Amino acid sequence: MMTSQHDISAHTQEMNAISFASVPRLQLINICKRYNSLKANDQIHLTVQPGQIHAILGENGAGKSTLMKIIYGATRANKGQMLWNGKEVKIDSPSMARKLGIGMVYQHFSLFETLTVVENISLGLDKKIDLRVLNQKIIEVSEQYGLPVDPRREVHSLSVGERQRVEIIRCLLQNPALIILDEPTSVLTPQAVQQLFKTLRLLASQGVSILYISHKLHEIKELCDEATILRNGRVTGNVNPKDNSTSDLARLMIGRDLPTYLRQEYSSTQQMLFQVENLGYQSDDPFGMSLKNINLNIYAGEIVGIAGISGNGQAELLSLLSGENSLKNGRIFLDQQDISRLSPGQRRDLGLGFVPEERLGRGAVPNMTLAQNALLTAYRQKYTRWGLIKFSDITTFAEKIIEKFGVKAGGASAEARSLSGGNLQKFIVGREILQNPKFLIVAQPTWGVDVGASMFIRQTLIDLSRQGVAILVISEELEELFEISDRLCVLANGELSSPVQTDETNAENIGVLMSGIRSHDLSVENAEEQQVHA
């Protein structure tokens, strides 16, 4: 990948002439933002230098996203000043921010499902560009930055990881002088992350400033020059992340030491709770992924993890296992009962729980309250009678989720869209777990979730499995899968490898299989043999 100076617009170059002077690229002075009684941002001071990669660290709900939206003009501060290259500005819209040279990649995607990639990117650009010309630019940029995407594909056919690539490419095409990245690597492969880091470092060397939000503390240490810590809406410190351990950073973020995992070893049982036999699927979408002869057994009390690069059949597999798509080839059993032709609701009646990877839209309805969202999947838990809703009971259930899972929200009446991504994830996971499923499917359980909440969710899944629940976790976080899974397999090109005990393989071996270079055997010994023969 190469990015030359002419890739940066004349406007950006002019600002970069200022960039290496002593004037900060961005200064926030006493920024305050209040939502009714909630202080999202309280007297925030922040300075970002030209060419600096600056991290913003904090728990879910600490005020990071609100602050970024203020900088990008999507939200107005109640109080405070913003200086851009030493001059006070009032940014009242994202369009104005982009004209100044500020670009942003949101954690939650802002794409139109029925439009193509090139049409979506065209809508996000302030200057009109012929779609054929833009199509070629997207291909060039995607190849340069190691973020492959087909401009002709409709967004609804893209996986979460592929949608993330579209957002990043759209931002890069605007040639910003400051880039705000909100959890940009949540669903990228390790290789793609390193490619992105190379791009960000090159941009920084040309004077482009980067504000980087991530809960992956090892990324912060590797990439960032400075970190500003937010807690409960206030700045609690500024550090050089390279001079601090990840434990130190976590302690600064959450104000306490991280808990350690308490894990009781899995003792194999003969009770098979979930079984997939010869599952096949031919995708109707020309850009989709077909599945070939999927076989999988999951026993009571164990967690099986499926690793894989986004777009290799995860979405198709999830829709078949949950019942959203009809199964034509193969069979699925839950506790020895054939559920192959049952609807999602019928499968839930038999004890299947499901946490989808998309929080807003699939996991929860944005403009519905938490109590209403709890009702969507938990109504069968005696919260309705003769077709009538027991509102007090479902409210109590929602409040129980909030309390037990540490969800930061304004109560059961708060709308789902008012929660930070991590808190909404904790609510959705809690909603499914408190329904006492026999078998639980969880996709991307800690996507965009802070380190403390991630550990809580992972520990909760471990504890649930040891109570006899069978759990299937599909994740692109290899570290996560190794921490919680008893057995691992890989989904690549629509084919599922045979599972292997987690302690009999390693991340490098899994990564090779994810890339499609090698197939079938995940064991360390087999990988070493193949490397010798190669």
| Token digits of residue 70 | 């203020």
Residue 108: pLDDT over 90:
no
The pLDDT, as a whole number, for residue 332 is 97
pLDDT tens string 257-309:
766 667 777 766 678 999 999 999 998 877 678 999 999 999 999 999 999 87
Residues sharing a CB contact under 8 Å with residue 31, sequence separation 6 or more, in sequence order = 41, 43, 44, 45, 46, 67, 70, 77, 79, 80, 81, 82
Torsion angle of alpha carbons 191, 196, 202, 207, nearest 10°? Answer: -160
Burial class (CB in 10 A: 0-12, 13-18, 19+), 528: exposed
Please state the rounded mean pLDDT for residues 183-205: 79
Choose among 449, 514, 480, 478: nearest CA to 313.
514
Instruction: Tell me the domain boundaries of the chain.
Output: 5-115+173-254, 272-351+437-533
Q: Same CATH topology for 5-115+173-254 and 272-351+437-533?
A: yes
CA–CA distance, 212 with 234 (Å, rounded to integer):
18
Neighbours of 178 (CB within 10 A): 26
In the block, residue with structure tokens 């909030």: 402
The pLDDT, as a whole number, for residue 331 is 96
CATH number belonging to the domain at 5-115+173-254, selected among 3.40.50.300, 3.20.20.80, 3.40.50.720, 1.10.3720.10: 3.40.50.300
Please state the rounded mean pLDDT for residues 234-240: 92
The pLDDT, as a whole number, for residue 4 is 37
Residue 246: pLDDT over 50:
yes
CA–CA distance, 116 with 111 (Å, rounded to integer):
10
What is the DSSP-derived secondary structure letter of residue 152? T
pLDDT tens string 386-427:
777 888 899 999 999 999 988 888 899 999 998 877 789 899
Please state the rounded mean pLDDT for residues 165-190: 84
Number of H helices, E strands in the chain: 18, 23
pLDDT tens string 3-53:
333 343 444 444 444 444 579 999 999 999 998 877 899 999 999 999 999
pLDDT tens string 68-106:
999 999 999 999 999 999 999 999 999 999 999 999 987
Burial class (CB in 10 A: 0-12, 13-18, 19+), 181: buried
What is the maximal distance between C-alpha atoms in the chain? 72
The pLDDT, as a whole number, for residue 386 is 77
Q: How many CA atoms lie within 13 A of 192 on its CB side?
A: 23
Torsion angle of alpha carbons 148, 154, 159, 165, nearest 10°? Answer: 40
The pLDDT, as a whole number, for residue 250 is 85
pLDDT tens string 332-385:
999 999 999 999 999 999 999 999 988 888 899 999 999 999 998 988 877 777
The pLDDT, as a whole number, for residue 520 is 53
The pLDDT, as a whole number, for residue 137 is 93
The pLDDT, as a whole number, for residue 269 is 67
- Asked whether 168 and 117 are in contact (CB, 8 A), the reply is no
The pLDDT, as a whole number, for residue 6 is 39
Arch. (CATH architecture) of 272-351+437-533? 3-Layer(aba) Sandwich (3.40)
CA–CA distance, 505 with 503 (Å, rounded to integer):
6
**Among 80-84, 230-234, 439-443, which stretch is predicted with the lowest mean pLDDT?**
230-234
pLDDT > 90 in the chain, percent: 52
Helix (H, G, I), strand (E, B) or coil at 65: helix
Residue 534: pLDDT over 80:
no
pLDDT classification of 323: cutoffs 50, 70, 90 = very high
Strand partners, 81: 29
In the block, residue with structure tokens 């003969």: 270
Buried b (16+ CB within 10 A) or exposed e, 292-330: bebebbbbbbbbbbbbbbbbbbbbbbbbbbbbebebeeb
Is 141 or 256 the better-scoring residue by pLDDT?
A: 141
Amino acid at 276: V
pLDDT > 70 in the chain, percent: 88
**Among 221-225, 416-420, 445-449, which stretch is predicted with the lowest mean pLDDT?**
445-449
pLDDT classification of 187: cutoffs 50, 70, 90 = low
pLDDT tens string 483-530:
999 999 999 989 999 999 998 988 878 877 887 655 555 555 454 444
Q: How many CA atoms lie within 13 A of 167 on its CB side?
A: 26
